[in-house]
A and B are shown apart, each in its own frame.
Chain A
Amino acid sequence: GIQVEQSPPDLILQEGANSTLRCNFSDSVNNLQWFHQNPWGQLINLFYIPSGTKQNGRLSATTVATERYSLLYISSSQTTDSGVYFCAVGDGGFKTIFGAGTRLFVKA
């Protein structure tokens, strides 16, 4: 099956810093989503981005499907950005495979 690898596994930032999170996947996918899991466990949709580039405020994402990776950019980080960021890909059908996540802590 498809393998999804996220890096880095852990990241500590000072408030105001920028960061890039990476998601590599091992095969063609029909879906790629980025989620933020907040400290209460809720998964929040950030981007649905099987290809191309999207921006939403301080966050942006780029997926290069032909090279099998996606990047999530966080600019001017805030303490509320803390949590776990997951990349999830579709296997061509309805099954979705999640990466292990990047755990982000933003210090005030």
Chain B
Amino acid sequence: GAGVSQSPSNKVTEKGKDVELRCDPISGHTALYWYRQSLGQGLEFLIYFQGNSAPDKSGLPSDRFSAERTGGSVSTLTIQRTQQEDSAVYLCASSFELAGAEQYFGPGTRLTVT
């Protein structure tokens, strides 16, 4: 594809439900990143995947958050038992597999937990 795509663009869920957010990176990019942006704030790093290496999960805020990447391409971020404080925009980025490479962002998924 031409750019990073994310789905859904908007998600409203009830507190306590699980949600899955999807990211399709730019073709040929083997590094993939997830960030969270709360209203009016900067971006908070959550997790990155580098090729076939184990992901760096150091930014995940709690054990309710997990992410996987299938086939070295598409990634899914899962939030279990959602809480109201999970409401935010979740952004995905991809890059070539080189530390410090330029990252390109998708449009984000706006998650609202009611």
Contacts and interface: CB of A to CB of B under 8 A. Distances in A.
Nearest to A42: B107
A73 B34 CA distance: 29
A30 B108 contact: no
Interface in A30-45: 30-31, 33, 35, 40-43, 45
A102 B79 CA distance: 30
A7 to B, nearest CB: 14
A42 B3 CA distance: 12
Given A90-B99, A90-B100, A94-B48, A41 B107 contact: yes
A78 B102 CA distance: 26
A30 B100 contact: yes
- The secondary structure that dominates the B interface is strand
A100 B107 contact: no
A97 B107 CA distance: 19
B102 A94 contact: no
A95 B42 contact: no
A94 B42 contact: no
B100 A99 contact: no
A44 to B, nearest CB: 8
A95 B56 contact: yes
B91 A43 contact: yes
Contacts of A42: 105, 107-108
Most chain B Cβ neighbours within 10 Å, of A31, A40, A99 = A31
Contacts of B99: 30-31, 90, 92-94
- 9 shortest interchain CB distances as A-B pairs: A30-B100, A31-B100, A43-B105, A98-B43, A90-B100, A48-B102, A100-B42, A98-B42, A94-B48
7 contacts: A29-B100, A31-B99, A33-B103, A94-B31, A96-B33, A96-B103, A98-B35
Interface of A: 29-31, 33, 35, 40-43, 45, 48, 50, 86, 88, 90, 92-101
